[in-house]
Structure 1
Amino acid sequence: MTGFPSMSPSTRIYIAGHRGLVGSALWRHFLQHGFENLIGLGSSELDLRDAHATATFFRDARPEVVIDAAARVGGIAANARRPVDFLSDNLRIQLNLLDSAVSNGVERFLFLGSSCIYPKFAAQPIPEEALFTGPLEETNEGYAVAKLAGIAQVTAIRKQHGLPYISAMPTNLYGPGDNFSLHDGHVVPAMIRRFHEAMLAEVPFVTCWGTGMPRRDLMYVDDAADAFHFLLDHYDGERPINVGSGSDVTISEIARIIADTVGYRGEIRWDESGPDGTPRKLLDIQRLADLGWSAKTPLAEGIRTTYDWFLAHRDTYRH
């Protein structure tokens, strides 16, 4: 199925965004598997929105494989407040990375999309064919449009240059290194912090946005890193491929698991004037399963590990 060799410990792999949630998991994963030539620069060292700086870096570093885990990301509140930032920054980052990769002979490129760029009312479980077929979730539109453009660019590169670049569509990811901001974080890290602080303050109830009824497919980020490595070694297709857990739970169930994990015993209330977001996001992962990969970390175990990381880093985590 592949026209390229599997990666070896000596392969020069550039992980763009190596200090973020996904990038740090990829870095851990490859180190644990004996890879010796990992390349990563922080945003203070290389601004990927700068085309010239990005091109110069690629010319000097000469990576053989690139994984694009760099993006401006955030939860519903952040996307709604700053749609221009999410659109413009992500367009610049991925355009510069892909253009520089092609110009400098990068052999393999993995572009990471997101389950939140599927149409708001896509059929469930969501097949890859649903991309570009309907209206997007309004609170997420800027980010989604940028990521859709990235997928289109990967497809165009395959057609024009014949390079084995691929796109993956990860589900909602969580884990060590996440953003635990109450305002900009995604659902799991934001709830972990909210319930932890409520437990410490012994407040009688915690109010969460929405109805609690939307359903989410959640995956522990280290499982995702393993899947991305697997795809680089085993997948070469024009169609993006979904990466998910294969099951989903309600936001209300997530809140209860997190409350139990941190030891919060108060009431959970729901502010139905707040946005729910997409009603359901469960990815169809049959194509990935057919290749021979599946997730390993149960949700409760992953949340426990994430909370332990939060406790160990609560003085230094991103706010």
Structure 2
Amino acid sequence: MEKNAKIYIAGHRGMVGSAIHRKLRALGFDNLLLRTSDKLDLRNQQAVADFFAAEQPEYVFLAAAKVGGILANNALRADFLYDNLAIQNNVVHQAYVHGVKKLLFLGSSCIYPKLAPQPIKEEYLLTGLLEPTNEPYAIAKIAGIKLCEAYHDQYGCNFISVMPTNLYGYHDNYHPEHSHVLPALLLRLHEAKAANQPTVTVWGSGKPMREFLFADDLADACVFLMGSYDDPQLVNVGTGEDLSIKELAYLIKSIVGYEGELVFDPSKPDGTPRKLMDVSKLQALGWHHTTSLEMGVRLVYEDFLASCSGQ
């Protein structure tokens, strides 16, 4: 990408979009198109068409999505399917209509079968049943991948798809019911410490294995792939390392400084038993993550404390 290229970051206020925004700014890209959802509703077909016609972006990072944890995914199934289909359909199609040079579509590791062999290779897509609790979100993201592939095959569009593993970072969602496991644990342990609670209950058995990637590392990978990867076949982005939810909980407990006990509730859903990404394809291209989980969680907790004190 040229330093003066007009780049649209869809979803620049979210955790991933804001990380991409920071990365591009740091690299000297200053012709960035940014619109909040109250100014541009990406679910609105005409609004997106008008935006692309007026602004004519050259590159697009499609990081906008409706996201949430197990509870939100399962409770808001229609919203997760409709909103995400609408967002990506509108943006991808208008990128084609207006001759965008390159588009990067961000998916999720939940696209893969619940019982996929580990670590998960890109070719395992659509080889088995999905995890039921986040099936609507996963189906929408699979449709986005296939949409990018189809526009490449039919129209020659340079649209690529990136599948990140579980993410955490600045501007994460700390909603008490709709957040992902890492920020949910961070919030609950922080609140338990403040209230001197003797115990904290953690959903599930603690046995599932999860991989976590710092969002700023993902942003670095996305910018790297925008400059070096032109294949419509999706590419995984992760660390290639995982740990159990129990290990994660005790890591966060240590970083927050909570001195009570953790109690695991096996009556609550565990979700997928293991989700470890095979990142050999990305590493062969020359990219590796640089932020350890402990360092990343410390950075995020410092940011969380700063945002709390600023309220």
TM-score over 0.5 for the alignment? yes
Q: Structure 1 residues 316 and 133, CA, compared in 2 at 3 Å: closer, same or farther?
A: farther
Is residue 105 of structure 2 the alignment partner of residue 111 of structure 1? yes
The equivalent position to 2:131 in structure 1, one of 132, 137, 147, is 137
1:315: Cα distance to partner? 6.0
1:194: Cα distance to partner? 0.4
**Alignment-mate amino acid for residue 41 of structure 2:** D
Is residue 83 of structure 2 the alignment partner of residue 89 of structure 1? yes
**Alignment-mate amino acid for residue 30 of structure 1:** L
Corresponding residue of 2:191: 197
TM-score for both structures, normalised by structure 2: 0.99
Is residue 252 of structure 2 the alignment partner of residue 292 of structure 1? no
> 1:223-275 CA deviation, whole Å, 9 max, x = no partner?
00000000010001121000001100111111011110010011101111111
- Percent identity over paired residues: 51
Structure 1 CA distance for aligned equivalents of residues 168 and 161 of structure 2: 20
The equivalent position to 2:229 in structure 1, one of 235, 241, 244, is 235
The equivalent position to 1:278 in structure 2, one of 269, 272, 289, is 272
Structure 1 CA distance for aligned equivalents of residues 213 and 24 of structure 2: 19
**Alignment-mate amino acid for residue 145 of structure 2:** I
Structure 2 CA distance for aligned equivalents of residues 284 and 11 of structure 1: 33
SS in 2 for 1:207: strand
Structure 2 CA distance for aligned equivalents of residues 121 and 91 of structure 1: 25
Corresponding residue of 1:266: 260
> 1:121-170 CA deviation, whole Å, 9 max, x = no partner?
00100000011111000000110010000001001001001111100100
The equivalent position to 1:65 in structure 2, one of 59, 62, 65, is 59
Structure 1 CA distance for aligned equivalents of residues 29 and 61 of structure 2: 14
Q: Structure 1 residues 136 and 315, CA, compared in 2 at 3 Å: closer, same or farther?
A: farther
> 1:57-89 CA deviation, whole Å, 9 max, x = no partner?
011111100011000000001011110000000
> 1:297-319 CA deviation, whole Å, 9 max, x = no partner?
000000000000101112678xx
The equivalent position to 2:92 in structure 1, one of 83, 94, 98, is 98
Corresponding residue of 1:3: none
Superposed CA RMSD: 0.9
**Alignment-mate amino acid for residue 256 of structure 2:** V
Is residue 23 of structure 2 the alignment partner of residue 16 of structure 1? no
Structure 1 CA distance for aligned equivalents of residues 131 and 35 of structure 2: 32
Aligned length: 311
Q: Structure 1 residues 62 and 316, CA, compared in 2 at 3 Å: closer, same or farther?
A: farther
Corresponding residue of 1:4: none
SS in 2 for 1:314: helix
